[in-house]
């Protein structure tokens, strides 16, 4: 990112002072905007000194879908710069939220279309076909090719469940869960050929599988209390180790899951691993359904009523869960920048 300054007639030392202030501002801008590349990232600045010794400062930057512009006037340049930077950050926050929501809507539409292209054709699961194994293999192999987002979601759920102690370590892996989802989806398609297999269906099956695994695990642990090695369940100190298994597409940042919150500067400048570590620790303190509802909403783009249907719960309870996760995350923020 670079500064493109236009300041005709302004004293050279004044321009140098402005550039110095803005250079110190660039790292924060980069931290906020890095996910929008390869969009243009030049910070365009126009400074004019008017006849009454009043400055007029304009800052502009291009974001996906909109060019942002802040214009301010004042007699004290230092205060004017501070006010303009803060106003630009506020506009970036609003537009980032808009872009994030549009991205999630597009993601859902793309997932739905990809799944329909993979298994929506009647001949994939036609009962007229002679070889049931061939039908199953064709269904599973084609559907597996378009499940990258679901794989990431499942891996997140496993890591969080292990860290929270909901699942024993090494008890479940993503491939096993996906295999189970595909098997259940195929059975649904055979038993109810009129029912559409959609991305919603697959995520709902994931919810059912994790509910069954966690419930069974807790029952087993309760029945064998006193004989089970308790260290198997203790994952609270493995946050850093669990991060080692994370893939780039699974990165969790505060700006993704709290897009409408004004994040403190101390939080914004944390590195990816530090943010993920903090998020892991915060969300591992809430229940599985609460955590899953939050991730389904903020990372996967499902509406609250859809999540309520997936989890067979009331929508108002899901809404409260999302708010609970927000508060759990916010409470970990430093009290001051």
How many independent structural domains does the chain possess? 2
Q: Which domain holds residue 185?
A: 101-330
pLDDT value of residue 48: 92
Is 336 within a domain? no
Same domain, 93 and 106: no
Question: 132 in helix, strand or coil?
Answer: helix
Is 335 within a domain? no
pLDDT value of residue 167: 85
pLDDT value of residue 252: 79
Is 337 within a domain? no
The residue ranges of DSSP E strands in 142-208, in sequence order, are: none
Same domain, 249 and 224: yes
DSSP string, 36-83: GTTS---EEEEEEE-TTS-EEEEEEEEETTEEEEEEEEES-HHHHHHH
Is 140 within a domain? yes
Same domain, 47 and 92: yes
pLDDT in tens, 303-317: 999 999 999 999 999
pLDDT in tens, 283-295: 988 999 999 999 9
- Residues facing 59 on adjacent strands: 45, 70
Same domain, 212 and 314: yes
Same domain, 213 and 245: yes
Question: pLDDT at residue 125 above 60?
Answer: no
Same domain, 194 and 107: yes
Is 34 within a domain? yes
Same domain, 160 and 81: no
Q: What is the dihedral of CA 55, 86, 29, 78, to 10 degrees?
A: 40
Question: pLDDT at residue 224 above 70?
Answer: no
Q: How far apart are CA 131 and CA 330, in angstroms?
A: 55
* Interacting residues of 91 by C-beta distance below 8 A, sequence separation 6+: 68, 70
Q: How far apart are CA 67 and CA 47, in angstroms?
A: 18
**Boundary residue ending a domain (80, 99, 118):** 99
Average pLDDT, the chain: 83
Q: Are strands 3-6 and 43-49 parallel, antiparallel or unpaired?
A: parallel
Q: Which helix (H) or strand (E) holds 318?
A: helix 315-330
Same domain, 74 and 180: no
pLDDT in tens, 230-267: 444 444 444 455 555 455 456 778 888 887 777 787 78
Of 30-34, 164-168, 314-318, minimum mean pLDDT range: 30-34
**Boundary residue ending a domain (64, 99, 134):** 99
Same domain, 182 and 275: yes
Same domain, 62 and 203: no
Is 261 within a domain? yes
pLDDT in tens, 44-64: 999 998 878 899 999 999 888
* Residue 226 banded pLDDT, cuts 50, 70, 90: low
* Residue 38 banded pLDDT, cuts 50, 70, 90: very low
Q: CA nearest 156: which of 294, 51, 30, 32?
A: 294
Same domain, 95 and 115: no
Same domain, 307 and 187: yes
Cα–chain-centroid distance for residue 152?
11
CATH number of the domain residue 46 falls in = 3.30.160.100
**Boundary residue ending a domain (99, 128, 159):** 99
Q: How far apart are CA 123 and CA 121, in angstroms?
A: 6
Is 205 within a domain? yes
């Amino acid at each position: 990112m670079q500064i493109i300054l236009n300041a005709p007639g302004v004293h050279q030392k004044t321009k140098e002072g402005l550039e110095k202030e803005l250079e110190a501002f660039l790292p924060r801008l980069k931290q906020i905007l890095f996910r929008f590349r390869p969009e243009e990232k030049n910070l365009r600045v126009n400074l004019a000194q008017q006849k009454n010794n009043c400055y007029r400062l304009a800052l502009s930057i291009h974001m996906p879908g909109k060019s942002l512009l802040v214009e301010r006037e004042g007699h004290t340049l230092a205060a004017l710069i501070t006010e303009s930077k803060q106003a630009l950050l506020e506009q970036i926050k609003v537009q980032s939220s808009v872009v994030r929501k549009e991205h999630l809507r597009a993601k859902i539409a793309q997932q739905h279309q990809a799944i329909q292209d993979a298994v929506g054709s009647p001949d994939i699961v036609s009962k007229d076909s002679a070889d049931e194994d061939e039908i199953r293999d064709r269904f599973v192999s084609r559907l597996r090719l378009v499940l990258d987002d679901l794989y990431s979601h499942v891996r997140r759920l496993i890591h969080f469940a292990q860290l929270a102690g909901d699942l024993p370590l090494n008890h479940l892996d993503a491939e096993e869960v996906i295999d189970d989802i595909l098997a259940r989806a195929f059975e649904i398609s055979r038993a109810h050929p009129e029912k559409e297999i959609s991305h919603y269906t697959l995520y709902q099956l994931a919810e059912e599988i994790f509910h069954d695994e966690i419930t069974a695990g807790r029952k087993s642990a309760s029945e064998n209390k006193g004989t089970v090695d308790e260290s198997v369940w203790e994952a609270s100190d493995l946050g850093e180790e669990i991060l080692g298994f994370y893939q780039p597409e699974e990165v969790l940042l505060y700006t993704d899951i709290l897009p409408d919150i004004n994040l403190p500067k101390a939080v914004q400048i944390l590195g990816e691993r530090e943010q993920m570590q903090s998020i892991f620790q915060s969300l591992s303190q809430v229940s599985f359904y609460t955590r899953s509802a939050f991730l389904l909403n903020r990372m996967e783009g499902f509406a609250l009523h859809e999540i309520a249907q997936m989890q067979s719960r009331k929508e108002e309870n899901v809404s409260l869960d999302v708010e609970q996760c927000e508060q759990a995350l916010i409470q970990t923020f430093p009290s001051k920048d």
